[in-house]
Amino acid sequence: MTEKIVFTRGVPPPEAFPTEQMGECFDAAVRGDAATVLQYGQQRGYAPLRRQLAEEYGVSETEILVGNGSLQLQDLVASYLSGPGTVVYTEQPSYDRAIKTFRRRAAQAIGIPLEEDGISVDRLEAALEREVPAFVYLVPDFQNPAGATLSLEKRRRIVELAVEHDFWVIEDVPYRKLRYEGEDLPLLREIDASRVITMSSFSKLLSPGIRVGFMIAPEPLIDAVTALGEDTYLAPVLPTQAAVAEFMGRGLLGPNIERLKELYTPRWKTMSDAVRRELPDAQAFIPGGGFFVSVMLPEDANTTNLVGRGKDAGLVLTPGAAFFADPGDGEAVPGDRFVRLPFCAVTPGQIEEGVKRLASLL
Ligand code: PMP
């Protein structure tokens, strides 16, 4: 039987989890601070973890909120900043779950085309002339789903535009620390924090199951989102946050990230090479890090029922259209030609075989 190859899962594989160390940290965290972590409370998140994050990002603890994964915080932020009358802008393509969340909260989530160096700033400026959104949602580093990284020049211009036109920029950076080549670019908040909300997560650096994500924003916004969180989940899940604090306090996070990079680098290289070799006519996004390579297939590629035909050939793909918000101007969305290729949870052998199968389907 043909081995099924799964190119849908943007999650860490089981071998990525620091299981023994996490077990010890859970034990120490719960036994060490039971009266706090087994109780309701700490609505902004576990205080020692907020302190560690505040120090790392050079902000005040009052500008940090740690919640149950970053997606829930995104949903709370969207419900606070937008409503039935507002629009929000996303990259196009963008993270599918964020698009869904925003669609539920705002009148419209409008996609602005993504280029190899991030969102098209020309198109963003044109859109701003028509309507100023409640916020622009960006994944500036190793974007999900495309893999693109926002250039320094565009980072500078976007924070300028945010101040000039008075809108928020959400920079969502869960993949930022998984860089396999090149140099870090500054966070948007490091250029000008005044209109920037930074979101990140331990899902890709430690474990998604622990549900620990955080946001950094000006204090009034943190207060408002904390209040919404309290109404939603009463108090965040503290034992996992305390385990993360313990993990960081023991100095284990940096070495764990290095270990993950060693695990993922051969997978990233194999995927990048296989895409260049097997799909030479596609426009490929080859990132310097993260979880995803992606391709925009040529217009003459046979993309009819690609997901269904892939399944028959033992290749599981996500429908590209899921990542495309409404372009808002009647322009055709090339979602059918877009293929996201997550490489972290598949072996180099599976990657080679999967990309060959994809090429043969086209
Ligand atoms: N943002 C992006 C861009 C993601 O890719 C993901 C996870 N796939 C999330 C947010 C959600 O992260 P969390 O597990 O912290 O909710």
pLDDT digits (tens, 9 = 90+) for 47-77: 999 999 999 999 999 999 999 999 999 999 9
CB within 8 A of 195, min separation 6: which ones?
Answer: 159, 162, 163, 166, 167, 168, 169
pLDDT of residue 256: 98
pLDDT of residue 270: 98
pLDDT of residue 322: 86
Instruction: Calculate the CA 245 to chain-centre distance.
Output: 22
Please name each of the domains of the chain with its CATH number.
5-16+255-361 (3.90.1150.10), 19-249 (3.40.640.10)
Mean pLDDT on 198-208: 98
Per-residue pLDDT for 336 more than 80? Answer: yes
Asked if residue 95 has its Cβ within 6 Å of ligand 1, the reply is yes
Instruction: Using pLDDT thresholds of 50, 70 and 90, give the confidence band for residue 329.
Output: low
Chain length of the chain: 362
Residue 311 Cα to ligand 1 midpoint, Å, equals: 26
Report yes or no: 308 and 272 within 8 Å, Cβ to Cβ.
no
Asked if residue 101 has its Cβ within 6 Å of ligand 1, the reply is no
Which one of 95, 119, 199 would you pick to mutate in the ligand 1 pocket, going by the greatest count of ligand atoms within 8 A of its CB?
Answer: 95
Give the global pTM.
0.96
Instruction: Using pLDDT thresholds of 50, 70 and 90, give the confidence band for residue 330.
Output: low
Assigned token pair, 282: 């596609």
Helix 238-249 to helix 19-32 angle (10° resolution) is 110
pLDDT digits (tens, 9 = 90+) for 220-260: 999 999 999 999 999 999 999 999 999 999 999 999 999 99
Please name the residue whose Cα sits nearest to atom 9 of ligand 1. 71
Secondary structure element (H or E) that encloses residue 337, with its range: none
pLDDT of residue 1: 66
pLDDT of residue 328: 67
Please name the residue whose Cα sits nearest to atom 8 of ligand 1. 10
